[in-house]
Structure 1
Amino acid sequence: MSSLAQEQAASRNVIDITDLHEPILTDIQKQVLAGAEAGADQIVFDPAVILANAQGQTGLTDFGPADFRERLAVWCQAVDEDANASAVARANLFQMMIRLAATRLRIEDIVKRHPEILEIAIERPIIVAGLPRSGTTHLLGLLSADRRFRSLPWWEAIAPVPAPDEEPTSQDANPRWTKAEHGWRAMESILPYMAIMHEFSPDHISEDIELQAVDFSSYLIEWLAHVPRWRDYYLSHDQSGTYAYLRKCLQVLTFLNGPNRWVIKCPQHMEQLPALYRTFPDATFVLTHRDPVGSIRSQLTMYTYAARMLRKSVDIREPLGYWPARYETLLRACVRDRDVLPPEQTIDVYFHDWIRNPDPIVKEIYRIADIPLTDDVLADLHAYLAEHGEQKKGKIVYDLERDFHVTGEDLRRPFDFYFERFPVKVEVR
């Protein structure tokens, strides 16, 4: 392809969301909103209601250790306090909580029937952590292309233990995959640009936050609603128990579908390094770093685009008043605790180095993890990179000044401490 043809193709692939402030709704968006409003009275954020629904779905009763109940109660209260949450957001959160409670019942049931699960060692996992949009998803997907690793595809993340109606049949080899595919296609039809910004296709490698959420913790619901009550509760409580539950979920998944050399990732790990290290002391830790303004800019756009469905009214002051400060909290914890991780088990990956040439970084990760990087494996990884290059589905336009009335320098000012600790290059002016 000529350079002119490449430029023309690139220009056709640019997506500029110009109705962030005053959304122009599609017919399907209007239908979904109307349907959610019609069923709004049936949504009750009461832990007893959520747990009863999960028990009814599964026929199981034992949720295991009861400490999660307090966290579930805080989730419910925090969501109920979000006055601007739309009926769609409330319905999605309600169904998600029931799904997580049902998953917890199935986790506890299979461990009770197979106590040997708790003897499975999660040996030397590779754990990726870094700000959202700092290369973590791309790196995780790349490592997962090495078939010697065990990773967490989305279909399995949202249904780790199959329900009775999710066992393979001659008509459907993987009903859990099929259900995830239906959900993905629905999301694509309702919020097509969200599907580009954050993929949830069945085979997309998921964050392990979905497993932490089975313990009703993590910062997950901060991404789905305005929940400062939960944020404050979560940040003031030791997360060691939830990380132990994450390990338990990995043991169950290993039992069901081995092998046990895992590669996982979650941006939240950046603010939970001590708990992460205590839980997985023999891990290889890969920390990605990038100008936080690049990540915040993307988050602001993603939040505001989704607001047409998840918020009653679109107000840019909501994400501006929450996310920059939330990123600062996360990165201050990272700077404070970075040296908890053993240097011989840890690598810091810088976005500007990664996009220039990932090969030396990949080789160093494999060296630290003590895994041979053969020519065949490297060829597989290169094939993945060729197939999953950045912006394959489209390049989203991020315009801070136009859409949020701030500059990169405005947002960057509180992050001097991060640039002093890590040699991150400024990207966004």
Structure 2
Amino acid sequence: MNSAHKIRIEDLSKPVLSELQQGAVANAESQEIDLSVDAVLAAAIKNTGLKDFGDEGFKERLAEQLRSTAEDAWMNNFGRMSVFGTKVQQACSRLRVVDALSRHPEINNIEISRPIMIAGLPRSGTTHLLNMLAADTRFRSMPYWESRQPVPAPGEEVTHDQRDPRFQRAVQAYQGSDAMLPLMKNMHDMNPEHIHEDIELLDIDFASYTLEWMAHVPRWRDYYLAHDQTPHYGFLKTMLQVLSYYSGTGVGDAAGGDLAPKQWVTKTPQHLEQLIPLHTNFPDATFLVTHRDPIEVFSSTATLVAYMSRIRNPVIHMSEIANYWLDRIERLLRACVRDQQKLPEDQTMDVVFPEFMANDMLMVRRVYEFAGIIVTPEVEKQLEAYLKANPRGKHGQIVYDIEADFGLKKDALYERFNFYYERYPQLDPRTH
């Protein structure tokens, strides 16, 4: 029985900011933010002491992202400052990755064999599934603290645990973000140790939909969707090689001594609309595709975006948020319905949300069986320990109400997703 307490965000559309939030927003207004490629790259060069960004094609993508952000008429200076800081961090990571590949070309020889790759809508169980599988220590996965800085700074000891300087920096960042948006962890907890999605790695190539969560950027959405993402998924594979190299307990040869890394398990919702580029670069992967009623996904997603917007938008445009994310979810699902059938049937498994939530351990056993991996008694203990430590609604459960918050009735939305309900009738609430 789930005993998590229920939380209703009463000020979603008209936020009452805390003193901390007010102070942060006010302080940002006095800052001058230069949303230019030159400014981002100059800051990254200054922070790292490196200059080689590798293939310069990324500059066009970064320019589109920054131009799109500048066009967001809703955004305040705090929001612009957040985007700028994020882009600098990604550029720093790119510099360190290029440097690592230059100094250690053997990284390119590391094999990424038979990864398990999860694709599914936001809020459809991808995070829970990933973290359950990652509890099995036979897999290689990526904690959030590592995704923030995949390559350590020169001279830093790589311990790959809580002693790692990158972990300590992530803890400080998490504490700050938790203080600023305390209900984030109730919807999508980004604590440093949780196993994170590989979209952070695509971000280092400035080729993902992440920016859409940070700003109202239809220009960037259209640019991203108009371009073939296959080469950027090749970059993702390179990033998994880099992370595999640095997964030891030392630096240099000690860190990269094992050139037969563990089997990777990863996920990101973006994969749902990039299944062909994903398969092209990872032809021997096992693909787990999660499925949930899109109206429930929308309710959770739109609420999350509206809540995050309180510190970056002086006015919360609820109807625009709703329209944008209804469209975005539809695009993701149409791409999935179009492309999933093109994946090898013996490598692709559906994970249906209601079944997963009814018995997550049973579903994960099915995943292991499908992937041809034995569940040992030790793995059973690891999975059970994870579930015990991470009950659903651990921090309290948000109560979603799209009619009260967004002025939408569920019945009016079902028709829009008939194409998906026809493919997955078990998700259609009108049939049960």
Structures share fold, TM-score greater than 0.5: yes
**Matched residues in 1 for 2:300 and 2:106: separation?**
44
Structure 2 unpaired stretches of 5+:
249-260
| Structure 1 counterpart SS, 2:350 | strand
Q: 1:427 Cα deviation (Å)? A: 5.1
Residue 254 of structure 2 corresponds to none
Number of residues of Structure 1 aligned to a counterpart in Structure 2: 417
Q: What is the CA-CA distance between 1:88 and the residue it aligns to?
A: 1.4
**Contact kept in structure 2, 1:79 and 1:226, CA below 8 Å:** yes
Which residue in the other structure is 1:3 paired with?
A: none
Equivalent positions of 1:392-411 (< 5 A) are: 392-411=394-413
Residue matched to 2:98: 108
Deviation at 1:356, TM superposition (A): 1.3
Asked if 2 retains the 8 angstrom alpha-carbon contact of 1:286 and 1:346, the reply is: yes
Deviations 1:315-367 (Å, cap 9, x if unpaired)?
A: 21221120001110110000000112111111101011111122332122112
Matches within 5 A, 1:13-412: 13-39=5-31, 41=32, 43-164=33-154, 166-167=156-157, 173-257=163-247, 259-412=261-414
Structure-1 separation of matches of 2:399 and 2:213: 21
Q: Indicate the RMSD between aligned Cα atoms, in angstroms.
A: 1.7
What is the DSSP-based 3-state SS (H/G/I as helix, E as strand, rest coil) of the residue aligned with 1:249? helix
1:165 CA displacement: 6.5
Question: Alpha-carbon deviation of 1:279?
Answer: 0.7
Distance 1:387 1:173, change over 3 A: closer
Q: Give the CA deviation at 1:422.
A: 2.1
State the secondary structure of the residue aligned to 2:140: coil
- Matches of 1:410 and 1:234 in 2, distance apart? 30
What's the offset of the Cα at 1:250? 0.6
How far residue 380 of structure 1 moved from its aligned partner, in angstroms, is: 1.5
Unpaired segments of 5 or more residues in structure 1?
A: 1-5
Distance in 1 of aligned mates of 2:364 and 2:384: 11
Q: State the SS of the aligned residue for 1:90.
A: helix
Query: For 2:215 and 2:97, how far apart are their aligned partners in 1?
Result: 27
- Deviation per residue, 1:137-174 (Å, 9 max, x gap): 000000000000011101000100011374369xx821
Sort the Cα spacing of 1:166 and 1:413 in 2 relative to 1 into closer, same or farther, 3 A. farther
Q: Which runs of 4+ in 1 moved over 6 A?
A: none
Q: Distance in 1 between matches of 2:155 and 2:41?
A: 20
Instruction: Please state whether the residue corresponding to 1:111 is helix, strand or coil.
Output: helix
- How far does residue 368 in structure 1 lie from its aligned partner after superposition? 2.6
Partners of 1:105 and 1:306 lie apart in 2 by 29
Contact 2:14 2:315 survives alignment (8 Å)? no
Residues 65-100 of structure 1, C-alpha deviations (whole Å, 9 max, x = no match) = 111111011011101100111211111110110110
Work out whether residues 126 and 262 of structure 1, in 8 Å CA contact, stay in contact via their aligned partners in 2: yes
Contact 1:127–1:283 (CA under 8 A) maintained in structure 2:
yes
**Quick one: distance in 2 between partners of 1:393 and 1:307?**
21
SS of structure 2 residue aligned to 1:192: coil
* Matched residue SS, 1:349: strand
- Deviation of 1:386 (Å): 2.1
- 8 A Cα contact 1:207 1:265, kept in partner: yes
Q: Once the 2 structures are TM-superposed, how far is the Cα of residue 424 of structure 1 from its aligned partner? A: 3.7
Contact kept? 2:6, 2:396, Cα under 8 Å: yes
Return the letter of the residue paired with 2:51.
T
TM-score under structure 2 normalisation? 0.93
How much does 1:384 deviate? 1.2
**Normalising to structure 1: TM-score of the pair?**
0.94
Measure the CA separation in 2 of the matches of 1:165 and 1:28.
35
The one-letter amino acid paired with 2:287 is F
Query: Is the 1:140–1:265 Cα contact (8 Å) retained in structure 2?
Result: yes
**Aligned partners of 1:385, 1:427: CA distance in 2, in Å?**
28
Distance of 2:53 and 2:95 partners within structure 1: 5
Give the Cα–Cα distance (whole angstroms) in 2 for the partners of residues 57 and 232 of structure 1.
32
Contact 1:153 1:205 in 2 (8 A): yes
The code of the aligned residue for 1:139 comes to: L
Query: Are the equivalent residues in 2 in contact too, given 1:187–1:195 (CA < 8 A)?
Result: no
- Provide the C-alpha distance between the structure 2 equivalents of 1:157 and 1:254, rounded to a whole number of angstroms: 13
Aligned residue for 2:287, secondary structure, equals strand
Structure 1 contact 124–369 (Cα < 8 Å) conserved: no
